[in-house]
């Protein structure tokens, strides 16, 4: 697709990137630094060189983004509560990564964040770009399965242009699921398990899934798009109703509706964990990743049945090798598998 068209599409659809200097972002910053007191419309208008009407319009916009702002005649505006929407500047603020998430595209709604990332692959300076949408209309899982993406979930993709061999891509389901599991542990103090290859489980129910799209050319990777779908604060019953009977599994939400946990912190921690592990993959330092993955695996040591493109395989899950492949033994032979769907745990 030609660059102009992409630029136009981006201008039309995305809301803010982390470095856009919009009045919305500036007003939010000022309100945040004056959190305990009111700040007058006049003061805002002077410091931003905007009319009072423009300030009012932007305050309305900020409220529509989920910030709670109190306005009082004669006193001005006061920020009462931050948004929980995954807005780019909220993620940038306090993000500790060097590359991942330094540029963020945010949408209210989109077909699929993976597909949008795909459109960015030919553009320069997009390594590490993150695409987030509050809802998706055509979210997808592996093997083109439907991924239901209502408000309250974390639907996010990262575009990476890695500089390593193709053989190293197969490790990414393992790396990404470990990064996500660790982020959940660190931020929410919960202990998820990882069902091979890349389902994040909480109390034996799926709470997040991972999808990786990669393009390979003569043993080099052009790009990799890592997608995560986290059922952060969702109604699992509603999601289940939208999934075909044959594809249903036990689903859960990461936090309950009344829980005030902040998804922004989780995204920041996930990006940091992923970037650190990515750097370890580049320097071929994967023994720790493998060990940590195995420690959290709900699959290793169990008798399992797997659906693969070569049919059904049953046996004992013995281990995971350094490329993320599952070693499964029927007592006589050990097979090595890179993908598949577990039909039992």
Q: Interface with ligand BT5 by CB under 6 A: which residues?
A: 112-114, 136, 139-143, 145, 147-149, 155-157, 206, 209-211, 227-229, 231, 239, 243, 247-249, 251
N- to C-terminal Cα separation, the chain: 43
Please give the radius of gyration of the chain, using alpha carbons only, rounded to the nearest integer: 22
3-state DSSP assignment of residue 114? helix
Q: Where are the alpha helices (DSSP H) in 21-156?
A: 23-33, 41-48, 52-64, 88-92, 113-120
Q: Report angle CA 228, 231, 235 to the nearest 5 degrees.
A: 155
CB of 162 to ligand BT5, least distance (A): 18
CB of 114 to ligand BT5, least distance (A): 4
Q: Which is nearer to ligand BT5, 92 or 114 (CB)?
A: 114
Q: Which is nearer to ligand BT5, 62 or 156 (CB)?
A: 156
Bond from prior residue into 197 cis (ω within 30 degrees of 0): yes
What are the beta bridge partners of residue 326? Answer: 320, 337
Q: Which is nearer to ligand BT5, 23 or 227 (CB)?
A: 227
Q: Which is nearer to ligand BT5, 44 or 251 (CB)?
A: 251
Phi, psi values for residue 52, rounded to 5°? -60, -35
CA dihedral of residues 229, 234, 240, 242 (deg, nearest 10): -80
Q: Which is nearer to ligand BT5, 251 or 267 (CB)?
A: 251
H or E element at residue 175: helix 172-188
CB of 139 to ligand BT5, least distance (A): 4
Cα distance between residue 179 and residue 182, in whole Å:
5
Count CB-CB contacts under 10 A for residue 137: 10
> Do 91 and 267 contact (CB within 8 A), yes or no?
yes
Q: Which is nearer to ligand BT5, 247 or 343 (CB)?
A: 247
Closest CA to 255 of 222, 237, 233, 287: 233
> Do 63 and 69 contact (CB within 8 A), yes or no?
yes
CB of 243 to ligand BT5, least distance (A): 5
> Do 192 and 201 contact (CB within 8 A), yes or no?
yes
Q: Which is nearer to ligand BT5, 30 or 341 (CB)?
A: 341
Q: Which is nearer to ligand BT5, 79 or 306 (CB)?
A: 306
CB of 340 to ligand BT5, least distance (A): 10
């Amino acid at each position: 697709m030609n660059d102009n068209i992409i630029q136009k599409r981006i201008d039309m659809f995305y809301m803010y990137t982390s470095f856009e200097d919009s009045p919305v972002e500036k007003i939010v910053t000022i309100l945040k630094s004056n959190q305990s007191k009111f700040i007058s419309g006049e003061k805002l208008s002077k410091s931003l060189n905007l009319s009072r009407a423009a300030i009012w319009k932007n305050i309305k916009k900020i409220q529509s983004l989920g910030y709670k702002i109190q306005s009082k005649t004669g006193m001005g505006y006061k920020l009462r509560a931050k948004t929980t929407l995954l807005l780019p500047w909220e993620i940038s603020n306090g993000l500790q990564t060097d590359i991942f998430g330094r540029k963020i595209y945010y949408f209210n709604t989109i077909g699929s964040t993976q597909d949008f990332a795909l459109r960015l692959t030919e553009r320069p300076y997009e390594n590490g770009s993150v695409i987030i949408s509050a809802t998706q209309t055509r979210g997808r899982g592996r093997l083109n399965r439907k991924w239901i993406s209502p408000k309250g979930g974390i639907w996010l993709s990262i575009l990476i242009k890695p500089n390593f061999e193709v053989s190293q891509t197969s490790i990414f389901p393992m790396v990404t699921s470990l990064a996500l599991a660790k982020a959940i542990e660190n931020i929410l103090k919960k202990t998820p398990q990882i069902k091979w290859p890349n389902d994040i489980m909480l109390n034996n129910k799926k709470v997040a899934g991972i999808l990786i799209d990669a393009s390979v050319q003569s043993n080099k990777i052009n790009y990799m798009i890592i997608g995560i779908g986290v059922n952060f604060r969702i109604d699992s019953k509603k999601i289940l109703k939208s999934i075909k009977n044959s594809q249903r599994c036990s689903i859960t939400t990461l936090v309950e509706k009344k829980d005030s946990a902040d998804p922004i912190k989780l995204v920041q921690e996930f990006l940091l964990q992923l970037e650190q592990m990515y750097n370890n993959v580049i320097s071929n330092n994967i023994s720790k990743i493998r060990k940590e993955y195995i420690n959290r695996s709900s699959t290793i040591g169990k008798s399992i049945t797997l659906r693969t493109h070569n049919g059904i395989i049953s046996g004992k899950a013995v281990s995971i090798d350094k490329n993320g492949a599952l070693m499964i033994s029927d007592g006589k032979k050990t097979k090595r598998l890179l993908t598949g769907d577990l039909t039992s745990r």
